Chains A and B, each alone.
Chain A
Amino acid sequence: MANFETVTVETDLLICGGGMASCGAAVEASYWAKKNGLKVTVVDKAAMDRSGAVAMGLSAINQYVDLNSGNNTLADYIDYVRNDLMGITREDLVANIARHVDTSVHMFEKWGLPIWKDEEGKYVHEGRWQLMINGESYKIIVAEAAKNALAEAGGELIERVFITHPLIQDGKCVGAIGFSVRENKVYVFKAKATMVAMGGAVHVFKPRSTGEGFGRSWYPPFNSGASAFFTIYGGAEMTCQEVRFIPVRFKDAYGPVGAWFLLFKAQATNALDENYMQTNRPELDNWLPYGHVKPVPANLRNYLMLLDVEEGKSPIYMQTAAAIQKIADEAPDEKSAKRKLKELEAEAWEDFLDMTISQAILWASTNTEPEKKPSEIMACDPYFIGSHSGASGAWVSGPEDLQTDATKDEYFWGYAGMTTVPGMFAAGDASGASSHKFSSGSHAEGRIAAKAALAYCVDNPDAPQVDQAQIDALTAEMLKPLDTFEQNKDATTDPDINPAYIRPTQFMFRLQKIMDEYAGGVSSQFKTSDKLIEKGMELMGWLQEDAPNLAAEDLHELMRCWENVHRMFQAEAHMRSILFREETRWPGYYFRSDKPTMDNENWLAFCNCVYNKETGEWTMLKKPVKRITA
């Protein structure tokens, strides 16, 4: 076996991941840990300054409930989320995040994040719930506060260590195991409580690009399903594994459209200049009551656009020039119109430069000046992202005080943010059925779950015990791809082509081809059926059998091996959940052609699943949707 040193770290709370939820958890946990004499450790595969989905920056904060203005209530936000997700949401979780998120945003500002203000000193809203920011350094600033908090509380940050598996003892989570991607070291973390905040999953499906642009996914390619695997493999009940998210963005580079739709009030049209939201409006009657709510749910907006694409009415355009002209025309004189145009131009470019620089490159390389010509938009590929308009993640406990008599037995089991595995907590993309938390809400959810996790540590003060046999077995399994490569590489003249093993890049392509063609990817316009899924699962079975033959030349490739095993588990949970839910509920995300309509009588419910790592069996569960607002 490859020669690795083992480093053992003992702590109270282990936070896995380095993105927004992790930073929220780190800052909150440090505050309470200092008061209670507890230790907090953060482990991340990247560098916290640029780790996670906000690595590049953001041009807006998408969840600000603005409770203290009196304009919005918690119930308003719950309505917005429930309707956008076609009725499938945990209102207790959404409400809990919504009542704490404004605190996160106010703290971001105290930490140095520039939030746009108007003449009266009020935040500039992009939309009802969205604030405009100068967000190039959003993540760096939030990470800085987290790192300073850890330092003040005597906590520890360990970067460039990739977590592969949870440690489970007697049904409880007692830590995690992984390896350094910089030196030959295995890391064993023994913790009283463990927070899963390792992001969503990208590249489970084949992206649209055919070559070098493979990495230009809308959500980052380094969100590789680690949270999903950790919770699934650990035996946690999962929810909404069928609820993928497919954003509509500027075509190919996937630049954001939010500012164009919300701030500039631009319209999208097909090639015939028809606004598909108007011409296809009658279709919304088939998806009631959600078809008639405002704003129209994201998946239905996608669907109305995709109907035009299928009818051959592409390209679909964002009418940028018309929108800018309309705003400029509203100026009182020519001079202020000119000034306004210049302002809008800078805002439009900053929107890309803050969060999708590739789109600025694409516009520059296609001589696109948005004030002069429209730009194409298109649906991206499917992503697993519990923080946005998807919902996949672990099934977690809500807070006690927001439950009703009807919900308490279903949605509360002691600690907010805890999964069904004692000691294992989840936040951000790792927790499900609490959509529309975005960057700020993920931070807030990390704070909620971290405080609850420390309460769990105080209530369960015994040092975590882990069988050495489990650590030895996971270490051997984790490092096996290095041995496989070393033992077989000289059997052929090309280390890429070797009948004894499969390298992770080809393994990923194989996974993506299965998902694309059988589970409703881009090439089938997001359509699938029971028969397609069943066939896809047969192919997936062989992929799973081949996973132990993954090979890695170095530590970087070893990380790629495990990222793709993680993706494979997300893929299986997705296919099983699509098959279990016998209806089509989010037609713009996926369409089950054998069950083409929504069935509120039978399926206004959560589809949950549990994996048993001892037997490899999955159990599917239908859980009731119970509202806390009447």
Chain B
Amino acid sequence: MPTFVIPDKCDGCKALDKTACQYICPNDLMVLNKDTMKAYNQEPLLCWECYSCVKICPTQAIEVRGYADFVPMGASVTAMRSTEDILWTLQFRSEEIRPKRFKFPIRKGVSEGMAQPFDHYPTADDDLKSQTLMGEPEALNTELGSVKFDKVPTL
């Protein structure tokens, strides 16, 4: 099955108010078995391998084994996601190819939870029927752009 759970690492999110993988899976696949207090993928046929559960698991108990019907065995791609960046480790099937590690930023300038939705740009009018959306026209412009809009453009 595409995602799998390592039983020794999964603690069923006992200390949390919800099971992280079950909460996040966009396709409602990850489930907590309340008898064993371990999670599992209830419908691997519909797993997109999106890694949402892998990335959110607080104990790194979930990994992905490539689709068995077309992926040769032996390789792995693991993810470690923090609040600022994500660290990837790629293990090839051949041990002669050195594993690759990549670290990419996932956020810039705004810490987790702090995205302020409304107040970055002034909104030109309060008319619910106008073509002006929140923050416009000012939000159409950048500091570097040469064309400055003072209203929402038309053809």
Residues of chain A at the chain B interface (Cβ within 8 Å): 27-28, 30-32, 35-36, 45-47, 49-52, 55-56, 66-70, 74-75, 95, 99-100, 102-103, 106-107, 109-114, 120-122, 134, 136-137, 141, 144-146, 148-149, 152, 160, 181, 209-217, 220-222, 252-253, 346, 349-350, 353-354, 357-358, 360-362, 364-367, 369, 399, 401-402, 447-448, 451, 454-455, 458, 505, 556, 559, 628-629
Contacts and interface: CB of A to CB of B under 8 A. Distances in A.
A377 B115 CA distance: 39
17 contacts: A31-B117, A47-B23, A50-B24, A55-B50, A70-B145, A99-B153, A121-B144, A134-B105, A145-B117, A211-B68, A215-B47, A220-B26, A220-B50, A349-B90, A353-B104, A362-B70, A364-B76
Contacts of A95: 155
Contact of B146 (A70, A110, A364): A70
Contact of B118 (A75, A152, A209, A354): A152
Size category, B interface: 35 or more
Interface in B102-155: 102, 104-118, 120-121, 123, 126, 128-129, 131, 133-136, 139-149, 152-155
A219 to B, nearest CB: 9
A212 B152 contact: no
Given A114-B108, A215-B45, A365-B74, A181 B135 contact: no
Given A112-B108, A214-B46, A222-B26, A252 B70 contact: yes
Contact of A27 (B90, B94, B117): B117
A361 B134 contact: no
Contacts of A113: 107-108
Given A215-B47, A252-B70, A447 B75 contact: no
Nearest to A95: B155
B10 interface: no
A111 B115 contact: yes
Contact of A447 (B70, B76, B133): B133
Interface string B81-107: 100001010111110010010101111
Given A112-B110, A353-B104, 10 more contacts: A36-B128, A100-B133, A112-B114, A113-B107, A209-B67, A213-B68, A220-B48, A221-B48, A361-B49, A364-B92
Nearest to A115: B108
Nearest to B81: A136
B46 A144 contact: no
B144 A122 contact: yes
A357 B50 contact: yes
B90 A120 contact: no
Interface in B8-53: 23-28, 31, 42-52
B64 interface: yes
A75 B153 CA distance: 11
Nearest to B44: A212
Interface centre among B94, B113, B135 (most CB of A within 10 A): B135
Interchain residue pairs A-B with the least CB separation, the first 6: A68-B145, A112-B110, A211-B69, A213-B67, A365-B75, A149-B117
B67 A102 contact: no
A401 B24 contact: no
Contact of A152 (B26, B117, B134): B117
B2 interface: yes
A203 B148 CA distance: 45
